[in-house]
Structure 1
């Protein structure tokens, strides 16, 4: 039932590092392609990059996950780890297939474990292209990056359950639509108008990151002179200490060709995170944003920064931090919700990081 991709491993030394990296060639074959169901897996090219491609569609039974379908998800994750390839998944699912009972729940557990084992080994990107609820919605929290189309929604408990337990009437869009996740939950990296744009966003993210933890990020071609002066960066900062400015303007002045890929721009806007290149070298950028909460750190900002720093460290991406903040945002509610604990997560991520940090 399982057609394993043919892998050719070659150990070689990077010209800029003495650490070993691995080049892997995987034939674009379908995995378990003859197994019917809502999940389909193959190894394919994505803008010149080989990825393990997983699709969970709602074409049959609203994408309910049978044991076999969940096993297919686990197969995709294991193949990504074994082949050292990024995992890109397109997902729409109503949850476990209730017709199978505990067997379906067991399958979901196997899939969750396999996806978890990808963490820090290969990048994982999930494109949510339809309703994704109950157990499958939790996969979004496991993935490194999540892209949601405008027609999709995701939650673990639906509007009917919310109304029954709380008495509050709410619809799918407000409860778990792309705007909700992009602004309030932080579960979504970016929102796309449709599947095609979502794939393009995934390609843009992959352009900055390596295939796996033992590989350096891909170098970019650029004619931008790394020795050029950047007086515009200073001009963007107001002379008054109480003045405000958009730190993204400073980032674009510093970056190669003024290109900056911001991640999660609408969640925790007081902390900007994203990718740029300097001399063709991809770099992760963390920056206080004076336009939002005066650049102070709160719980969402700490969570956003901690996860991004940990991701960069896992995949050998240097980190540039632009600091302009009066400190932590004050408030009883913030302290009671665990500002110490969440703030320490950001400290822990930086303290644990071994990549170059400026």
Structure 2
């Protein structure tokens, strides 16, 4: 494989940020930034679009209100709502640049147009506004690393949306699969028992171990495509988090000296080890998306994130946590266990899930412009 060693131009140059942003004029909506008071009507439009496009999920009010949290977000500059002459919300946009990005700086664009107002050019102009704002955020980051502007779409979503992204210069970069596994009957067999060896211990999630879980996640996903570290504030934003369905694996007697000597141990983990903090080495954090039960036609527990520290791979820490989560879903009467996976996951997770009885129910993709 040939590695491109061409030096990067400064981020301000690569981003080519516009000095000012042009508001959409197509279709005639009146535009302004989103406020917390808009959350109910914004939710209604987002869910109307989701149902019209047969997306496998809807959102709840708490999820929308959470968007207004986070010091890294400036909704006055990073959002746009379009209202028709009668005051009805017909389109929306939001752009976000995650604060924890280190080796790549990313800006994600989100938006939608009411199905009755499609075909008027609103979506095209709205995407242009989003892309312009994304370039402004990337330039302002000052991070001299590769950059990305990303958007997401369901595989089975409107083909017009895919074409919109492609015509705007976005290319498909990654595919994701939504997987489900029945928890009752005999079709997938029992949830496996996963014994842990040595000083590894499976424990329920607890608030006092949450920071250690964040550090484990940042280590586990360091070699995953498109992943960047999460700050404490990012990590804390889990509106639908289900602690009763979440499990951790800790090393009760880690070899601190060996870990500190390893070049793979990050600075935050090293500081925690020196301070005698607990070491989480595997985790399964789950969420409860009750509103989606009717959309999917069954109840389920959702594994949001799953992983194991790289130094502990092969010791079944993630599998033990996942199995514990699946048993907790079943104990609460959930019919399925559900999760989402990158189809090119470097840890071989897709094959693991297939061996556990998970099968694909839907898919999505990420389009991006690489800078």
TM-score, normalised relative to structure 1: 0.31
TM-score, structure 2 normalization: 0.31
